């Protein structure tokens, strides 16, 4: 049994780094300030999480595009984190040999100055998600070629951002409810 341990250690040391780990190392080397971690879910699927500052956001996106010219930009999700506004972008890269590398890029900007660089020149589809961010949470994208609204109606008030959790969000007066007959009958009497 004593010689079993060294062999397992050797196997551990010689284990080929996975695609995820290789890419995580590359991102770490290129962007030392970014927080990179590889997570694994209970089905063994790995995913890289990258948290970058506002300055590193666009260079990282360009770097990923150079890494894989066919990188697939899936979605960008905006979020209200209290004092900050967050943006999470999901990308799938190197998917020629399945499974591809799933990657989430997260950025944060303070609410006083909610500006991020526009990446629609790198990933053209990003413009749709940026337009949604601009109207839903008030996160402005510098240099976006199209800043029109995407989902909200034209008569919606300008200074209200529906997904904000603070005073700029939806107020109680805007929320309407068709009413339960029990409550309606109670209100009339």
Partner 1 sequence: MIKLPLLSTVLKNIAKRPATNLFPKTDPVPVPEDFRGKIIYHVDKCVGCRMCVMVCPAGVFIYLPEVRKVTLWLGRCVFCKQCVDVCPTRALEMSDEFLLATYDKYDKKLRWFTEEEIEEYKRKLEEQKKAKEVAKKS
Residue 176 found at the interface with partner 1 (CB under 8 A): no
* Minimum CB distance to partner 1, residue 185 (Å): 6
Residue 187 found at the interface with partner 1 (CB under 8 A): no
* Minimum CB distance to partner 1, residue 178 (Å): 8
| Closest CB to partner 1 among residues 145, 179 | 179
Query: What does the radius of gyration of the chain's CA atoms come to, in whole angstroms?
Result: 23
Site string for partner 1, 125-164 (x = CB under 8 A): ----------------------------------------
Residue 180 found at the interface with partner 1 (CB under 8 A): yes
* Minimum CB distance to partner 1, residue 184 (Å): 8
Strands (E), the chain: 35-40, 46-52, 72-80, 84-93, 101-110, 115-117, 140-142
Q: Select the residue interacting with partner 1 from 22, 30, 39, 185 (CB under 8 A).
A: 185
Pairing of strands 101-110, 46-52: parallel
Residue 183 found at the interface with partner 1 (CB under 8 A): yes
| Torsion from C-alpha of 164, 166, 169, 175, nearest 10 degrees | 120
Q: What burial class does residue 187 get, using C-beta atoms within 10 Å of its C-beta: 0-12 exposed, 13-18 middle, 19+ buried?
A: exposed
Beta bridge partners, 99, equal none
Triad 23, 26, 32: Cα angle to 5°: 130
Number of residues that bind partner 1 (CB under 8 A): 6
Contact residues for partner 1 (CB under 8 A)? 180-185
């Amino acid at each position: 049994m004593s010689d079993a341990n060294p062999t397992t250690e050797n196997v551990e040391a010689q284990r080929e780094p996975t695609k995820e780990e290789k890419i995580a190392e590359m991102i770490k080397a290129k962007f030392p300030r970014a927080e990179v971690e590889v997570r694994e879910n209970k089905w063994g699927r790995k995913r890289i999480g990258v948290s970058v500052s506002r300055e590193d956001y666009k260079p990282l996106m360009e770097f990923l595009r150079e890494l894989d010219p066919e990188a697939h930009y899936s979605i960008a999700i905006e979020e209200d984190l209290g004092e900050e506004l967050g943006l999470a972008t999901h990308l799938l890269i190197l998917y020629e040999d399945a499974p591809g590398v799933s990657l989430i890029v997260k950025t944060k900007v303070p609410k006083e100055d909610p500006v991020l660089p526009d990446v629609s020149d790198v990933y053209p589809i990003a413009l749709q998600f940026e337009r949604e961010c601009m109207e839903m949470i008030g996160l402005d994208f510098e240099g976006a070629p199209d800043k029109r609204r995407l989902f909200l109606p034209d008569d919606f008030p300008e200074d209200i951002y529906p997904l904000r959790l603070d005073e700029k969000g939806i107020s109680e007066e805007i929320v309407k409810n068709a009413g339960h007959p029990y409550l309606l009958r109670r209100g009339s009497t």
